[in-house]
């Protein structure tokens, strides 16, 4: 059942997207190729018509998730009234909506410790997009912060990722909320 070139490209994209979601939801090691292909609406045998290995889809899914989130955060910030972009970004990142949807959210928060053990190519990719996110924060830092803007943005990004990760560990939703709220309050009060 050969498919048209257009359909083939679409299928490949669906696999990458499904992988990006499944990996963030269940972890990379815990997601099998059969799960992944099932989520894309296919059987597992077809996988190797699009990728040479699981490693390749890990890299492409990570790149997709990171780029997609990067663009979404940037568009969201740009859409805010001038001067409020950073506060809005922090609120969105630490929102219950983000907390509840790891499969569509920040890759670093969903897979941070697993990414630390990924291949060098994947880690390079993730770090580059992390720096892009830091750059986005830096751009919206108030002009009163003229010293070490880059470092301040890095610290903020670290706090955001850490808070969301830790909130998701808490089995008690009230504690999760408290972690997110505390991070939001103190990041905005001291660093924004």
How many CB atoms within 10 Å of residue 164? Answer: 25
Alpha-carbon torsion angle 184, 155, 167, 121, nearest 10: 140
3 part of the interface to DNA, by CB under 7 A: yes
Taking the least distance from each CB to DNA, the nearer of 19 and 106 is 19
What DSSP assignment string belongs to 49-100?
Answer: GT-S-HHHHHHHHHHHHHHHHHHHHHHHHHTSPTT-HHHHHHHHHTSHHHHH
Minimum CB separation from its own copies for residue 20, in Å?
15
147 part of the interface to DNA, by CB under 7 A: no
Taking the least distance from each CB to DNA, the nearer of 2 and 147 is 2
- Decide: 179 and 163 in contact? Cβ < 8 Å: yes
Return the one option of its own copies, DNA, none that residue 130 interacts with (CB less than 5 to 8 A, by type).
its own copies
Instruction: Give me 180's structure tokens.
Output: 């997110």
Task: Characterize 86-117 residue by residue with b for buried, 16 or more Cβ atoms within 10 angstroms of its Cβ, and e for exposed.
Answer: bbebbeebbeeebbeebbbbbbbbbbeebbee
Check residue 8 and report its DSSP letter.
H
**Exactly one of 38, 103, 135, 162 binds its own copies (CB under 8 A); which one?**
162
Binding mask 9-48 for its own copies (x = CB under 8 A): -----------------xx-xx------------------
* CA–CA dist 147, 102 (Å, integer): 34
Return the one option of DNA, its own copies, none that residue 169 interacts with (CB less than 5 to 8 A, by type).
its own copies
53 part of the interface to DNA, by CB under 7 A: yes
**Exactly one of 45, 83, 142, 173 binds DNA (CB under 7 A); which one?**
45
Residues near its own copies, by CB under 8 A: 26-27, 29-30, 102, 108-118, 120, 123-124, 126-127, 130-131, 148, 150-152, 154-163, 165-166, 168-172, 175, 178-179, 181-183, 185-187, 190-191
Binding residues for DNA, per CB under 7 A? 1-8, 11-12, 31-35, 37, 42-50, 53-55
């Amino acid at each position: 059942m050969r498919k048209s070139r257009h359909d083939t490209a679409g299928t490949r994209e669906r696999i990458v997207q499904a992988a990006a979601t499944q990996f963030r939801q269940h972890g990379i090691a815990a997601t099998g190729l059969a799960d992944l292909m099932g989520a894309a609406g296919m059987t597992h045998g077809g996988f190797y018509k699009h990728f040479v290995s699981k490693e390749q889809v890990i890299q492409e899914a990570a790149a997709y998730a990171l780029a997609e989130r990067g663009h979404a955060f940037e568009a969201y910030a740009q859409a805010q009234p001038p001067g409020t972009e950073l506060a809005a970004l922090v609120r969105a990142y630490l929102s219950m909506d983000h907390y509840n949807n790891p499969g569509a959210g920040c890759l670093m928060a969903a897979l941070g410790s697993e990414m630390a053990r990924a291949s060098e190519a994947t880690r390079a990719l993730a770090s580059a997009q992390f720096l892009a996110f830091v750059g986005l924060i830096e751009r919206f830092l108030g002009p009163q912060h003229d010293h070490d803007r880059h470092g301040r943005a890095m610290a903020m990004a670290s706090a955001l990722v850490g808070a969301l990760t830790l909130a998701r560990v808490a089995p008690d939703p009230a504690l999760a909320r408290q972690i997110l709220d505390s991070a939001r309050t103190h990041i905005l009060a001291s660093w924004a």
